[in-house]
Amino acid sequence: MSLHKFYPIFDDVSWLKRMLPLGIKLVQLRIKDATEDHVRAQIAEAQALCRAHDCVLVINDYWQAAIDLGCDWIHLGQEDLDIADLKAIRAAGLKMGVSTHDDDELERVLAMEPDYVALGPVYPTILKKMKWHQQGLPRVSEWKARVGEVPLVGIGGMSVERAPGVYEAGADIVSAVTDITLNADPEARVRQWLEVSA
């Protein structure tokens, strides 16, 4: 199956309740610093919402909960790869997306046959402190040439205005966080994203 070109990331299921009715078809739930019970309750609710709206749900980090709750997709960062049971993830039939930032990470990830590769930050981002300042559009094109048929996600500092250039550079999917969550009118911003990624 091909994934939708617009990939918002939210930190609470309340965002999904607001945004899925607008037509989002691919979303990541990225919960940080929460109890296991809270995480599992959020995932279960998110899954029900996504199924009702025919939306692909990707769970960040919590691979064991994703397996236990019958999810379809997981996203892992580089630090997660060190501790995640990749055999168990694959045995459960989970599809897997992975973050990459440099050549070594990309080589490591491609050997795992991921279902998508994320490259970031394409632009400077306020969301995380990173040693990588910005990758730039030429890196997006280089990464796409290297990953081939594997879908490439551009993330980091993304906005509606920057999205067309990122697609043009080779990204199959563009992911946004603060461009939506910090916007004065998040619903209107999501509608713009859906338009630019149609």
Q: Is residue 124 part of a domain?
A: yes
Find the CATH number of the domain harbouring 68.
3.20.20.70
Active site residues: 30, 99, 128
Counted domains in the chain: 1
Q: Is residue 1 part of a domain?
A: no
- Cis check: omega of the bond before 114, within 30 degrees of 0: no
Q: What is the mean pLDDT of the chain?
A: 95
pTM across the whole model = 0.96
Range of the domain at 81: 6-196
Q: Quick check: 133 pLDDT over 80?
A: no
Q: Is residue 159 part of a domain?
A: yes
- Over residues 98-102, the mean pLDDT reads 95
Q: What is the pLDDT of residue 1?
A: 60
9-36: pLDDT as tens digits: 999 999 999 999 999 999 999 999 999 9
Question: What are the residue ranges of helices labelled H in 111-162?
Answer: 137-147
Q: Is residue 68 part of a domain?
A: yes
Q: Is residue 136 part of a domain?
A: yes
Q: Is residue 106 part of a domain?
A: yes
